[in-house]
């Protein structure tokens, strides 16, 4: 009972403190202070705001803000920070771009070899029309197959070489050429579409964006060159009457040269991206590697590898002339050509191939159109290339050069020697066995592999200035370079956490 009395006294004391007022005074009174519920709500909002601010200072968020600040131009105008971030290109390419470029180069390597098989099986002239879109599908009915076969029967190749070919045999060579063309379309789509994505999403540097656009244009040009080449074998007026129906050796050489340039461009671009990421993982070791490559003892070796690359490329193109003229089917012995090391001079410089009365085109036309001289030229170039590779290997083992040469360069030069030995063996064997399809395809693959070895060796001997600048920046500001190396991954994680 005493407890209740104490509670009533306290309640009456509190009630006595509340001022009493009449109705008009109550309506005119000043609004009271916010209630405790409202005050609590405001406190909760302030607490939430402070929590959000604290979260924004987390490592991932602060890293994202630093990336945005570094990506903004020096004097930004009205656009907001987010728009500035999305419109700037990074300092380094995403690592996935390097893997994609190398994978694209492997695909081009494959289509070059398959194109050689198409030529060796004489399947390249089986499709007499160029339909970039609708030609993606093969004939779907018997009537469609008969229509394609009738078009082929009107070609010089059928009339002069395959007059007894039936529809079943035609389907075999048709599918070879159709697969080759379909592969080319796949190469184009799998390169052009990712190019658009990487540039739009700012996953590449401005320089790499220009490279990707250039390679895309070269792929499109390659498709046009391919049809230009095939067209040369579908008309009687493009080769001498009574001769073997084939595509122009000039156009075949241009087609192969474009493919090789495209392959080399993809390969070197991809290797450059991957090496940059590898170097930025350890800037101090990268700085030592750059310093080693600047040694004066490597200058001659560097220029020699560059010259050797040009020599290999020229030898590959001479091989295309041999293939276009079927020059490998004559003089199937080595090192002799008939009774001597070379055929008689009258055979090498035959007036039959000259088209001018004064004979001013005798030399160059025989060099490019006379099968005997074309094969001799290829032998000389191949032998010179092999001798140059051996000389390069021996020079790289001299004391001063050997001491200054990095380990990966030494491996590259050794690998180049092994590739050259393999290629010479394949070339001689292909010649002795009268150019069987399997050996001829392996010889073509060996030529591209040898060029790859020279490109890799030259790539390891050089360090682009842009990569050197990134390494220097890494040494001066390690946190920023680390940010650049993992920026894409961390920004993605930050975006996921914000959602």
Give the model confidence (pLDDT) of 176-226 as tens digits: 999 999 999 999 999 999 999 999 999 999 999 999 999 999 999 999 999
- The SS3 of residue 459 is helix
480 within domain boundaries: no
- Count of domains in the chain? 2
Separation of alpha carbons 326 and 374, rounded Å: 10
Contacts of 216 (CB under 8 A, 6+ apart): 188, 191, 192, 195
Phi, psi of 398 (to 5 degrees): -70, 155
Query: Domain ends where: 281, 300, 325?
Result: 281
Q: What is the DSSP string of 296-315?
A: GGGHHHHHHHHHHHHHHHHH
Query: Domain ends where: 230, 250, 281?
Result: 281
200 token code pair: 């739009």
Is the same domain home to 311 and 432? yes
Residue 374 is part of which domain span? 289-465
Is the same domain home to 321 and 440? yes
Is the same domain home to 295 and 158? no
Q: How confident is the model at residue 74, as a pLDDT? A: 40
Q: How confident is the model at residue 104, as a pLDDT? A: 98
Q: How confident is the model at residue 478, as a pLDDT? A: 63
Radius of gyration of the chain (CA): 36
Q: What count of other Cβ atoms lies within 10 Å of the Cβ of residue 268?
A: 18
Separation of alpha carbons 178 and 129, rounded Å: 11
Is the same domain home to 111 and 222? yes
Is the same domain home to 350 and 416? yes
Is the same domain home to 293 and 275? no
180 within domain boundaries: yes
Separation of alpha carbons 428 and 369, rounded Å: 22
Query: Domain ends where: 281, 301, 336?
Result: 281
Angstrom CA distances, 429 to 195, 316, 327, 423, stand at 42, 17, 15, 10
Q: What is the DSSP string of 372-393?
A: HHHHHHHHHHHHHHHHHHHHHH
22 within domain boundaries: no
48 within domain boundaries: no
Is the same domain home to 295 and 375? yes
186 within domain boundaries: yes
127 within domain boundaries: yes
Are the C-beta atoms of 459 and 305 separated by less than 8 Å? no
What is the b/e burial string over 273-306, where b = at least 16 CB atoms within 10 angstroms of the residue's CB? bbbbbebbeebeebbebeeebeeeebeebeebbe
331 within domain boundaries: yes
Is the same domain home to 252 and 312? no
Q: How confident is the model at residue 38, as a pLDDT? A: 46
Q: How confident is the model at residue 42, as a pLDDT? A: 56
> In which residue are the tokens 């001063």 written?
400
Is the same domain home to 176 and 296? no
Q: Which of 198, 76, 58, 79 is nearest to 488 (CA)?
A: 198
Is the same domain home to 367 and 241? no
Q: How confident is the model at residue 202, as a pLDDT? A: 94
Is the same domain home to 226 and 143? yes
User: What residues of the chain score a pLDDT lower than 50?
Assistant: 1-4, 6, 8, 11, 13-33, 36-38, 40-41, 44, 47-61, 63-64, 66-68, 70-86, 238-239, 481-492, 494-495, 499
301 within domain boundaries: yes
Q: How confident is the model at residue 226, as a pLDDT? A: 94
Phi, psi of 340 (to 5 degrees): -145, -175
Is the same domain home to 241 and 327? no
């Amino acid at each position: 009972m005493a407890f209740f009395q104490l509670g009533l006294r306290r309640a009456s004391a509190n009630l006595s403190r509340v001022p009493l007022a009449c109705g008009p005074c109550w309506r005119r009174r000043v609004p009271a202070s916010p209630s405790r519920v409202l005050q609590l709500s405001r406190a909760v909002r302030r607490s939430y705001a402070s929590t959000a601010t604290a979260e924004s200072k987390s490592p991932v968020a602060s890293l994202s803000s630093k990336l945005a600040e570094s990506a903004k131009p020096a004097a930004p105008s009205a656009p907001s920070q987010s728009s500035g971030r999305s419109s700037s290109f990074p300092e380094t390419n995403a690592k996935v771009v390097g893997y994609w470029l190398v994978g694209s180069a492997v695909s081009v390597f494959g289509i070059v070899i398959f194109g050689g098989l198409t030529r060796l099986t004489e399947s390249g002239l089986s499709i007499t029309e160029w339909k970039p879109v609708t030609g993606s599908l093969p004939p779907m009915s018997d009537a469609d197959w008969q229509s394609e076969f009738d078009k082929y029967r009107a070609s010089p190749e059928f009339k002069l070489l395959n007059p007894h070919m039936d529809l079943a045999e035609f389907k075999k060579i048709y599918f070879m050429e159709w697969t080759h063309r379909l592969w080319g379309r796949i190469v184009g789509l799998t390169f052009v579409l990712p190019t658009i994505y990487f540039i739009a999403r700012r996953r590449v540097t401005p320089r790499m964006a220009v490279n990707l656009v250039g390679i895309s244009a070269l792929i499109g040009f390659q498709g046009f060159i391919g049809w230009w080449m095939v067209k040369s074998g579908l008309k009687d007026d493009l080769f001498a009457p009574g001769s073997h129906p084939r595509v122009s050796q000039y156009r075949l050489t241009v087609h192969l040269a474009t493919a090789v340039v495209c392959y080399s461009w993809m390969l070197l671009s991809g290797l450059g991206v991957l090496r940059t990421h590898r170097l930025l993982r350890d800037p101090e070791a990268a700085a030592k590697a750059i310093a080693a490559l600047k040694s004066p003892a490597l200058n001659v070796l560097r220029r020699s590898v560059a010259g050797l690359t040009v020599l290999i490329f020229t030898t590959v193109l001479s091989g295309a002339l041999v293939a276009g003229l079927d020059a490998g089917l004559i003089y199937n012995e080595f090192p002799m050509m008939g009774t001597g090391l070379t055929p008689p001079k009258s055979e090498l410089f035959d007036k039959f191939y000259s088209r001018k009365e004064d004979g001013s085109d005798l030399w160059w036309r025989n060099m490019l159109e006379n099968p005997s001289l074309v094969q001799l030229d290829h032998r000389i170039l191949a032998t010179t290339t092999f001798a140059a590779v051996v000389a390069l290997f021996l020079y790289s083992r001299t004391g001063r050069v050997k001491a200054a040469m990095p380990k990966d360069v030494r491996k590259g030069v050794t690998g180049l020697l092994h590739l050259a030995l393999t290629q010479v063996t394949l070339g001689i064997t292909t010649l002795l066995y009268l150019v069987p399809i399997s050996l001829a395809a392996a010889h073509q693959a060996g030529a591209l592999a040898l060029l790859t070895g020279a490109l890799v060796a030259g790539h390891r001997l050089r360090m682009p200035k842009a990569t050197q600048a990134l390494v220097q920046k890494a040494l001066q500001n390690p946190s920023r370079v680390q940010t650049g190396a993992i920026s894409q991954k961390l920004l993605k994680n930050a975006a996921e956490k914000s959602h």
